[in-house]
């Protein structure tokens, strides 16, 4: 099974700052990677699929990049509602697996 | 509007059983692959099981032989029968729909229910 490692575990930033989150795969997943946002007490929300495609209704401040084993989620300017936990997930090999998450907290 | 509503969670003793349900609306349920994904308290996400629109079924190794996924397209409902429950099965269980890209179902999850909590404890 492919292991996804997210870093950092916690990111402390202020509103308006740029957030850069990393996801590294234990082997190539091509561009078959997604990013989700999860707020406390809520279900995850799909943000990005296939590395760089925004899901329906996702604001343009969210962008994804990368391929192979190294991926990045960038939030260009943090809004108050963006403070949450973010997970990456691949669909390259069976089974689909998730990373351990990065918490973006208010500094 | 797409809606997925789970039910059936609760407190159960180790070795016990529980059946989860997910009632779906706002989309053509029978056309979609559906999944169960779980999240232990304070932990990350774990895919548990999938059933395709052709009734092909897949399980995570951690639940194989103990859990059974099924669907009833007439009732727009997804189920998860959980037997021989263990403490490590304690989690919020979400039902989630596969994303369809250009007519192809892929294992990303574009709609999720609100989750139902299963607690396995004596």
> What confidence score (pLDDT) does residue B110 get?
97
> What confidence score (pLDDT) does residue A41 get?
95
Cα–Cα distance measured from residue B2 to residue A7, given in angstroms and rounded to the nearest whole number:
33
pLDDT band at A95 (very low <50, low <70, confident <90, very high): very high
Cα–Cα distance measured from residue B92 to residue A38, given in angstroms and rounded to the nearest whole number:
13
B19-48: burial string, b at 16+ Cβ within 10 Å, e else: ebbbbbeeeebeebbbbbbbbeeeebbbbb
- Residue pairs between chains A and B whose CB atoms are closer than 8 Å: 49
Residue of A32, A95, A101 lying closest to B44 (CB–CB) = A101
A67 has which bridge partners? A70
B89-115: burial string, b at 16+ Cβ within 10 Å, e else: bbbbbbbbbbbeeeeebbbbbbbbbeb
Q: Considering only CB atoms, which chain A residues are within 8 Å of B112? A: 43-45
Mutate to test the interface with B, among A96, A97, A99, A103 (most CBs of B within 10 A): A96
B95 has which bridge partners? B36
Residue A98 burial (CB count, 10 A): 21
Residue of A46, A91, A98 lying closest to B110 (CB–CB) = A46
pLDDT tens-digit readout, A23-58? 999 999 999 999 999 999 999 999 999 999 999 999
Residue B53 burial (CB count, 10 A): 16
From first to last of its 122 residues, what are the pLDDT tens digits of chain B? 999 999 999 999 999 999 999 999 999 999 999 999 999 999 999 999 999 999 999 999 999 999 999 999 999 999 999 999 999 999 999 999 999 999 999 999 999 999 999 999 99
């Amino acid at each position: 099974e492919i292991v996804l490692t997210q870093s950092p575990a916690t990111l402390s930033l202020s509103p308006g700052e740029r957030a850069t989150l990393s996801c590294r795969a234990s082997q190539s997943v091509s561009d078959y990677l997604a990013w989700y946002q999860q707020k406390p007490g809520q279900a995850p929300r799909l943000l990005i699929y296939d590395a760089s495609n925004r899901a329906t209704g996702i604001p343009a401040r969210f962008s994804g990049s990368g391929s192979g084993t190294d991926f990045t989620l960038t939030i260009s300017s943090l809004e108050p509602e963006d403070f949450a936990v973010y997970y990456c997930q691949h669909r390259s090999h069976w089974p689909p697996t998730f990373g351990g998450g990065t918490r973006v907290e208010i500094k | 509007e797409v809606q997925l509503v789970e039910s059936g969670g609760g407190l159960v003793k180790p070795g016990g059983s529980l059946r989860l349900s997910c009632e779906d609306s706002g989309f053509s349920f029978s056309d979609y692959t559906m999944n169960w994904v779980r999240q232990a308290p304070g932990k990350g996400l774990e895919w548990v099981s999938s059933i395709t629109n052709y009734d092909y079924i897949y399980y995570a190794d951690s639940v194989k032989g103990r859990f059974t996924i099924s669907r009833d397209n007439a009732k727009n409902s997804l189920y998860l029968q959980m037997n021989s429950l263990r403490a490590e099965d304690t989690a919020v269980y979400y039902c989630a729909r596969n994303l369809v890209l250009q007519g192809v179902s892929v294992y990303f999850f574009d709609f999720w229910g609100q989750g139902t909590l299963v607690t396995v404890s004596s």
